[in-house]
């Protein structure tokens, strides 16, 4: 109507709120803006990747990390989601690796997925398999879906229809619980 593009103003407003707001009922803004469905340690409802407000998410995670987050590995992983949404893949992968090295289960899963798909890292199914197993053993049931996909990939040296079926069944059973 007035020729003003509201989207940049809206994003800036959200970023300012994220920087100045106090934790929301025990949940940090970083958690609320970046929670991941595959994260068994998440404290907020998951945010679909397409709905991430990357500038606000990064600002919120920077804020909580600068205050000395007690859940540093989780907040680093969620900040990585903001970088991914912005298309800054090298920063995102560095953050995912950092969170994984700190032992965060969902980061291990995210790194496995990156190696499986070859997203911003050299595709490596053997590394993906090891990382999916690590994530699964740390409670990330979504890793069973990753293993199913890995074993069902006909172009992979790890192709195994029986294993693919077994892991798909494990994933389906977990989904029914939730």
Q: Which residues pair with 112 in a beta bridge?
A: none
Q: How many residues does the chain have?
A: 178
| Confidence bin at 120 (pLDDT 50/70/90) | confident
As a whole-number percent, the residues of the chain with pLDDT over 90 amount to 81
Instruction: Specify the DSSP class assigned to residue 8.
Output: H
* pLDDT tens-digit readout, 14-52: 554 444 444 443 358 999 999 999 999 999 999 999 999
pTM of the model: 0.84
Is residue 148's pLDDT more than 90? Answer: yes
Domain ranges, ordered by start, for the chain: 1-102, 103-178
Q: Which residues pair with 27 in a beta bridge?
A: 24
For residue 59, which phi and psi values (nearest 5 degrees)?
A: -65, -45
What is the per-residue burial (b if ≥16 Cβ within 10 Å, else e) of 43-76? ebeebeeeebbbbbbbbbbbbbbeeebebbbbbb
Identify the pLDDT of residue 27. 54
How many helices (H) and strands (E) the chain has is answered by: 9, 0
As a whole-number percent, the residues of the chain with pLDDT over 70 amount to 85
Q: Which two tokens stand for residue 43?
A: 């404290």
For residue 24, which phi and psi values (nearest 5 degrees)?
A: -95, 105
């Amino acid at each position: 109507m007035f020729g003003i593009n509201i989207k940049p103003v809206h994003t800036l407003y959200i970023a300012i709120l994220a920087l100045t707001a106090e934790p929301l009922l025990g949940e940090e803004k970083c958690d609320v803006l970046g929670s991941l469905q595959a994260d068994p340690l998440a404290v907020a409802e998951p945010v679909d990747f397409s709905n991430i407000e990357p500038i606000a998410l990064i600002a919120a995670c920077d804020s909580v990390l600068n205050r000395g987050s007690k859940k540093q590995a989780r907040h680093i992983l969620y900040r990585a989601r903001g970088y991914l949404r912005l298309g800054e893949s090298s920063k995102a992968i560095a953050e995912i690796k950092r969170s994984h090295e700190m032992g965060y289960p969902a980061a291990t899963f995210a790194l496995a997925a990156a190696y499986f798909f070859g997203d911003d890292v050299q595709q490596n199914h053997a590394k993906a398999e090891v990382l999916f197993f690590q994530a699964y053993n740390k409670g990330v049931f979504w890793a069973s879906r990753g293993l199913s996909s890995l074993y069902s990939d006909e172009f992979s040296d790890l192709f195994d229809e029986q294993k693919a079926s077994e892991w798909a069944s494990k994933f389906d059973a977990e989904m029914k619980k939730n």
